Amino acid sequence: MDWPAVIQYVELCLGFILVARLLSLGLHKAYLYFCIFLLADTSGNLIWLVQKHLQGTPLRFDYRIAWLVQHAVLWVFTLLTIYALLDAILAHLPGILKLSHRVLNISFAAAILIALFTALPEYREAVSTQSLLGRIAHLVSAGFVLDRVVATVALLALLAILLFLLWFPVQMSRNLAMFFSGFVVYFALKAALMVAVSLWSAGSRDFLRLVSMLIAGISAGLFAYWAIFLTKAGEKVPAKLSVAPAHSRQEDLLIAQLEAMNASLLRAVRR
């Protein structure tokens, strides 16, 4: 059995189910960037499956070009989704939010520059190569570098937010908590798998297929989780990721510290 194709089909179906679920619940407006990220991801699977069935026919096409375009969209909306999650989580803490934006801007800009510098040899090879197929191969290699860097930086940003949320009792909606925790799991596993590819694949196509299959399986599992547990009422149900005991004096002190920090940062920004 062609397990990679089976998992791609499952991921594609669950992706469309999740999109339909978000539309039916009216959550697509609240999570617009995530919806576009989701559509880009599912469209990539659809294009891959279409080209797989068109191989050996006059209508066949080079999937690598579609991969480059699709991942360019995914990279942009990955970053926009993280910003949107941060905005929603810290909506009532504008001072901390402004500082967080500045830190993320610097982090993402530095990561993109590092990725471009790392992929520069592949880009030069693509420019100097006479064959179109050779150019595409080098550009895809550079794309893999950028994909790994974006996934790693996204994970680091999410982990920083997670540590903040575990320490301070910041309240958010249950849906937002589910989206955020799901993204942490997704990028943690994806970044780990992509690092494994860079360290141990040695160009092995079988290993690359296995990693692609695992990433698709992770996506499918998260799509199913979100499709099942996201609810319209979940936008109003409060949730916290903090490990501080509820209704304790320690929590009151942490809230006071958080508000003082926010007020101090807000004054600093206004100067």
Write the pLDDT tens digit of every residue in 107-131: 888 877 776 777 666 566 655 666 6
201-225 pLDDT per residue, tens: 655 667 777 777 888 889 899 999 9
pLDDT band of 165, cuts 50, 70, 90:
confident
Q: How many domains does the chain have?
A: 1
Question: Can you give the C-alpha Rg of the chain in angstroms?
Answer: 21
170-179 pLDDT per residue, tens: 888 999 999 9
Strand ranges for 68-224 from DSSP E: 172-173
pLDDT value, residue 194: 81
The three-class DSSP label of residue 245 is coil
Q: What percent of the chain has pLDDT over 70?
A: 86
pLDDT value, residue 46: 82
Q: What percent of the chain has pLDDT over 90?
A: 12
100 pLDDT more than 60: yes
Amino acid letter, 3: W
Q: Are 66 and 51 in contact (CB under 8 A)?
A: yes
pLDDT value, residue 227: 92
Strand ranges for the chain from DSSP E: 172-173, 238-239
94 pLDDT more than 80: yes
Give bridge partners of residue 239 from the DSSP assignment.
172
Count of alpha carbons within 13 Å of 78, Cβ hemisphere only? 24
Count of alpha carbons within 13 Å of 171, Cβ hemisphere only? 8
pLDDT value, residue 176: 92
Nearest to 49 by CA among 26, 66, 71, 24: 66
Q: What is the largest CA-CA distance in the chain?
A: 71
Give bridge partners of residue 172 from the DSSP assignment.
239
pLDDT value, residue 52: 76
38-85 pLDDT per residue, tens: 888 888 878 877 887 777 788 777 778 888 888 888 888 988 999 999
192 pLDDT more than 80: yes
Cα–Cα distance for residue pair 69/76, rounded to 1 Å: 11
The position carrying tokens 């007020």 is 263
Cα–Cα distance for residue pair 116/147, rounded to 1 Å: 11
Domain that holds residue 248: 3-270
**Is pTM beyond 0.85 here?**
no
Cα–Cα distance for residue pair 86/101, rounded to 1 Å: 8
pLDDT value, residue 210: 78
